[in-house]
Amino acid sequence: MARDFYGVELKSRLMLGTARYPSPKILAEAIAASGAEIVTVSLRRESRGQRGGEDFWGMIRDLGVRVLPNTAGCHSVREAVTTAQMAREVFATDWIKLEVIGDADTLQPDVFGLVEAARILSDDGFQVFPYTTEDLVVAERLIEAGCRVLMPWGAPIGTGKGLNNVYGLRALRAHFPDTPLVVDAGLGLPSHAAAAMELGYDAVLLNTAVALAGDPVAMAKGFARAVEAGRLAYEADPMSPRDMAEPSPPVIGLASL
């Protein structure tokens, strides 16, 4: 089943962040190697002397990818809403990756603020990609608020721990069969991305795992293949695990020696 992202269908199921790469050149090469069609971007304070923001934005535009601006670093509904409005003007898109951070140590979403901000922004014409937990009731509220995509965390941002709650993510997939679901944050290895895709998730969004790898371009390729492999496996309807061994060759016709 093809689940689109606010009307946009993608060939690649890998979304990539643009932060923390060793250089702009390696960032550009990693994006190309990943095949990602969506990259996340952010806003920071402008300084008088530097024009780094314009250079960065020019480079991203040249890559021909779609941008998903975030509200990273926002701890209140008001901050997140204002940041989203500013991002819409600068990046010329209604898409927003909505983050309302509730805890400074774990960067856990403030799901109450998230739902409130999602409602305000959806009513204002934004197409919201909420960074949330795997909580089913919060997911339901986000959809009621107007979200047509959900992005539950795999693990806290930047930890690289993989899927912390496979049971919860599987339950979320089962409860929302028609909603595009993206595992966002916490992935460290291609195998984590493959596991998310095998659960039937529509895409994964990651950043640090590629950016901080010794060779980000190679790791971007690795993730691209893992995402494809995991998706193929999901579509292929995997066998069920069993407790007892079962011989692979047929027993009938076995020689009695």
Q: CB of 172 within 8 A of CB of 153?
A: no
Binding positions for other proteins, rule: CB under 8 A: 17-21, 27, 40-48, 51-54, 56-57, 60, 69-70, 72, 78-79, 82-83, 85-87, 89-91, 157-158, 185, 207-208
Least distance from C-beta 110 to other proteins, angstroms?
18
How far is it, in rounded angstroms, from Cα 22 to Cα 208? Answer: 11
Q: Which of 170, 220, 226 is nearest to 193 (CA)?
A: 226
State which residue, 23 or 248, has the beta carbon closest to other proteins: 23
Least distance from C-beta 235 to other proteins, angstroms?
28
Least distance from C-beta 185 to other proteins, angstroms?
8
Residues belonging to the active site: 97
State which residue, 12 or 85, has the beta carbon closest to other proteins: 85
Least distance from C-beta 97 to other proteins, angstroms?
8
Instruction: Give all strands (DSSP E) within 70-171, no chain letters.
Output: 95-98, 127-132, 151-152
Q: CB of 193 within 8 A of CB of 15?
A: no
Q: CB of 65 within 8 A of CB of 94?
A: no
State which residue, 59 or 229, has the beta carbon closest to other proteins: 59
- What are the distances in angstroms from CA 62 to CA 11, 28, 55, 58, 66? 19, 10, 11, 6, 11
The helix or strand, by DSSP H or E, that contains position 34, with its residue range, turns out to be: helix 24-34
State which residue, 121 or 200, has the beta carbon closest to other proteins: 121
Least distance from C-beta 112 to other proteins, angstroms?
20
Q: CB of 34 within 8 A of CB of 65?
A: no
State which residue, 70 or 141, has the beta carbon closest to other proteins: 70
CA atoms within 13 A on the CB side of 197: 26
How far is it, in rounded angstroms, from Cα 257 to Cα 254? Answer: 9
